Chain A
């Protein structure tokens, strides 16, 4: 079909929106709520106005381009004086309802609302009604996510992601009129709700309404306290994403620059979560084999992802015996650092502070779980997301892009295998585990190191590996996004599918798409492919590519832990799970009170 935009001929499919046609043909229309990557066009911001004239109707209509389909013979004008004036008034109305405390806002200088105000040429705002927005809630109850509804513009992207991508569905819309806000289901504080802290909502928020809980101050307290020994760990997915915050291309490996930057910050010991990723593989692989050989419940699910663990505990607690008892690499790191490393480096563990840099907001919650705090001493003291780490560097005047790289120099925990690096992508834990399980069972390395059957981006993937006599064929499944995890769980519970080993990562693409990673405006998971390639490239070039061949892992077992699943491992590296299912009891009286009668 053919129509025109600003006098230029455009071709389009039936039912394609004006906005989609305009984007495709290079006509810019300012937008705010829309996000094509998640198929989201709720039509609520009403900024993307255009002038539209239908073929057999002389009248011009002002319509929103995101909800109006292009028609044959339709003529669209995107920048008439009337359109510009109405777009300006729209943004002015949005701002009347928005807490414009911009200087202190997390999105300062990186805000889609500020952008759109500029795109429509807004020069002053006439309407200031603080009572419009100050009554709305600010929820800091979650260790992972802070929700400040005074800044919300009702784009509903967070609701979409929580519902459609993650299937968690923790968010609802409450009230009407000016009080309308995105709230947490059943009026709960976010911290005690269905929210699992994955932080995907933060990645799509166009403004500063959603953010990670900021723990930079606590990290700075420790860095600048001479009595404290700070031990830093950073996760595999940090090194291929942090560069984006400093204008380096997505996927660039800045591992060496991170080491330099941390040392310049004053970190006493700089280490890599990769080391304990290798350790997790040793423990989890042994656990899998033990389960396969004994009558323990199968399939076994991975346990590295704290949002998945939270989702499982809240939705499928009856399956908790199916989850590997091995702690996540972050927690194994804390446990080993405060025992083994402290002992070897002769540091008083009470003075040691473990600070992790994670692509993940849920890791903040994981570090605060009761079982990971002994005698009021947590295994991991502070968790910073990639974004917070970038802010910390900026606050300290450091730009990693300009720093020379350095290498790890710790004799006890300062080495890792390629298998550990791919923990950062969906399928990575599975692939790393297969590399090691194969060796454990057959005493031979896989003929092909790369077990590509579990790679890819489909939300649920299946594979099988033949481990030869005694064990036979082991059936595997990999799921990413919690929605996919829920679908897989339903199939497993109904008996429709059966596996031995299942990897689940809550975030799309795995940790590289984590809720703590750099945000991208008007796009969701925009750098996913580059980050993924970055991780696989590091693995490919790694001198050691299997966890069991990491020399420092071998040393850790020889010198300290003795053997996987041994007595010390059990004490330091394994954990259990809790039934956190929430039962809701509403009475009709409460419900009807909320549905106040319309006269």
Chain B
């Protein structure tokens, strides 16, 4: 375990300089700091809150210079102290490492560093000189020795990394402050460009993302989180007319050997993101889709009023614009197999087949063949494709009971209202607090008139001649939280009651549909919980050359998680096809180190900031919208976007590690 010889972090100091290395006690927080990658020890770590030294022979002057070089390069250049101050510090450090400076320059550097720290506008500048100041404070003598001995200083191996809480929270690591900066700067095209570096489905994500970023947003400590998602939708919508021009004229930098064909199975978010990145890297890509329409769960599982189909389809068609081919109605396991793909010349395969099979409630009398019984995902699929796209009428009864507390359940109840079902009930076995659905979705459903039954669970489905007539429900009581922190529920004896209904829609989860993959034949193994088994870092399945990602690996998750896996899959496939193995990825490693130090950060905003309230998204009136499938949320104006963008506090931090090699 790494030994902390010295550490100064958020005013806490660990000083073991006088101890022998082997005498230094071990701190479990630093268990991950031994090596950067195998065989490459971490010698020092620098961040916006301080620094840690793990080996004695680190040249601090050089470490400070390399850190400040990155800071000066990353400064947005808007406020005076960060723009000018960091440059002056950098040039003074350059003089010192060249051997052209004097120890007195440390005082001048310290005074400017203090000034940058105290008076900078955003998080980057405010934290940019913290480590340097601590270093001058605790290592003055060492620095003076280094200055005297600089003839000049040899550059050490250093990896720098810039990130922010919102970026780290995002599975796709979208550079959120950067795309918000571009809005402030008046360059919406560039803003969208930042998002498109990660995935092609910007307008889609801008509508339905679950916003891990906003949960991490430090603006919540001032007033409310920045409207990161709504800004993403804004730039994607604003630039929609030019998007296709961009890609049709995009010349892929270097085409790979035409022999290196890659097959992607599934056109959901994971498959599309993988295909997109593979195409960008120059690989020929074919995409196979079991259905007649693309989009996977984004198309079938998300209703039109949240994500209009044309928005999704337009973004998926970027794949074809870039030269990828999508083959529809080609179902794996029926029309082709893994083996068949390899024999057709594909050198790597990315499986993104999703989880489309609904889970049963396990209530008495439950039978998927009953008239009126539909899994949530199937119900949504029928509405989206049969009713909305093809205009096939759907005969629904007057009453419906939807079971579940997630977004799919919310989508089902809200869609049912729009289909003209008069009485829509939602049954969830825990209380409202435990609901995994977005609270905005729950609120919207309430406004539209859905009847909620919390702490309630179906025990029996009552049917006559194969048609559902009613459902028997039982009240539940909440127990203590279990190991995972989720509270258990137990039925309350004698609280059973019967609700007449024409439909029961279980929306309590999905699993990988059987029949796509035959483990023995395809060599692709499953986990005990029914998802495809992969190696975490490489996403490679138990079969060489076959990778997998998205819901079929993680279980039902979110759009942005699936897209992140798609991007990772593409990177891993690229490594596999280029080097024969998946290589070490320094950015992911830095991200892990950053996560490791988070608990040590005193993240409070301790200086008052002027409140600027978050843009209010206009919505269709609940009484109107509950009858139609038109998109509920209206776009924001250019003026509102500029204002919202100004709310971002740019919590960028610069990190660096000095390593052996």
Contact = CB atoms under 8 A, between A and B. Distances in A.
Interface of A: 15, 17, 42-47, 49, 52, 54, 57, 61-64, 67-69, 71, 86, 89-90, 93-94, 96-97, 127, 129, 132, 153-154, 156, 159, 163-164, 169, 171-181, 185, 584-589, 591-592, 594-595, 597-599
Contacts of A69: 608-611
Contacts of A181: 77
A587 B87 contact: no
B72 A177 contact: yes
7 contacts: A44-B80, A67-B610, A96-B84, A159-B186, A173-B186, A185-B186, A586-B242
Contacts, number: 166
A386 B99 CA distance: 56
A587 B88 contact: no
Choose among B72, B81, B119, B639 the residue with the greatest number of A CB atoms under 10 Å from its CB: B119
A598 B77 contact: no
A5 to B, nearest CB: 15
A163 B87 CA distance: 30
Contacts of B118: 62, 86
A588 B184 contact: no
Contacts of A597: 197
Nearest to A586: B189
A507 B640 CA distance: 23
B88 A96 contact: yes
Contact of A45 (B76, B79, B162, B189): B79
A54 B608 contact: yes
B189 A46 contact: no
Given A172-B186, A588-B250, A591-B189, A15 B610 contact: yes
B194 interface: yes
Interface string B166-196: 0000000001001000101111011001101
A589 B249 contact: yes
Contact of A68 (B73, B193, B197, B609): B609
A17 B610 contact: yes
B246 A591 contact: yes
B78 A44 contact: yes
Contacts of B83: 97, 154, 177-178, 180
Interface in B634-648: 638-639, 642
B251 interface: yes
Contacts of A44: 78-80, 121
Contact of B607 (A63, A173, A175): A63
Contact of A46 (B80, B194, B642): B80
Given A69-B609, A587-B249, A595 B190 contact: yes
Interface in B242-257: 242, 245-247, 249-251
Interface string B341-378: 00000000000000000000000000000000000000
Given A42-B78, A64-B119, 10 more contacts: A45-B79, A49-B119, A62-B119, A67-B121, A86-B119, A96-B88, A172-B185, A588-B193, A591-B189, A595-B193
Nearest to B251: A589
Choose among B75, B78, B249, B250 the residue with the greatest number of A CB atoms under 10 Å from its CB: B78
Given A132-B87, A154-B83, A598 B74 contact: yes
Question: DSSP majority for the B interface?
Answer: helix
A202 B478 CA distance: 67
Contacts of A589: 249-251
B161 interface: yes
Contacts of A67: 121, 609-610
Choose among A49, A54, A90, A156 the residue with the greatest number of B CB atoms under 10 Å from its CB: A90
Contacts of A586: 189, 242, 245-246
Nearest to B252: A589
A127 B608 CA distance: 32
Contact of B178 (A61, A127, A591, A598): A598
Nearest to A17: B610
Given A177-B73, A587-B246, A598 B175 contact: yes
Nearest to A92: B84
A46 B245 CA distance: 42
A97 B76 contact: no
Interface string B53-73: 000000000000000000011
Contacts of B565: none
B85 interface: yes
Contacts of B558: none
Choose among A61, A129, A172, A177 the residue with the greatest number of B CB atoms under 10 Å from its CB: A177
Contacts of A176: 73-77
Contacts of B119: 46, 49, 62, 64, 86, 90
A54 B605 CA distance: 13
A153 B78 CA distance: 9
B75 A177 contact: yes
A89 B84 CA distance: 11
A90 B610 contact: no
Nearest to B242: A586
A594 B609 CA distance: 32
Contacts of B178: 595, 598
Contact of B81 (A90, A171, A175, A585): A90
A237 B609 CA distance: 43
A45 B186 CA distance: 20
Contacts of A154: 77-80, 83
B250 A587 contact: yes
Contacts of A169: 186, 638
Contacts of A179: 77
Interface string B87-113: 110010000000000000000000110
Contacts of A96: 84, 88
Contact of B611 (A15, A163, A185): A15
A93 B81 contact: yes
B160 A595 contact: no
A89 B116 CA distance: 10
A185 B186 CA distance: 8
Contact of B185 (A57, A173, A584): A173
Given A67-B610, A89-B115, A585 B242 contact: yes
A595 B196 CA distance: 11
A132 B84 contact: yes
Interface in B612-658: 638-639, 642
A163 B186 contact: yes
A277 B112 CA distance: 59
Q: 4 closest pairs, A vs B, by CB?
A: A180-B77, A173-B185, A588-B246, A172-B186
Given A169-B186, A587-B245, A598-B162, A68 B610 contact: yes
A595 B197 contact: yes
B120 interface: yes
A599 B160 contact: yes
Interface in B126-185: 160-162, 175, 178, 182, 184-185
Nearest to A595: B193
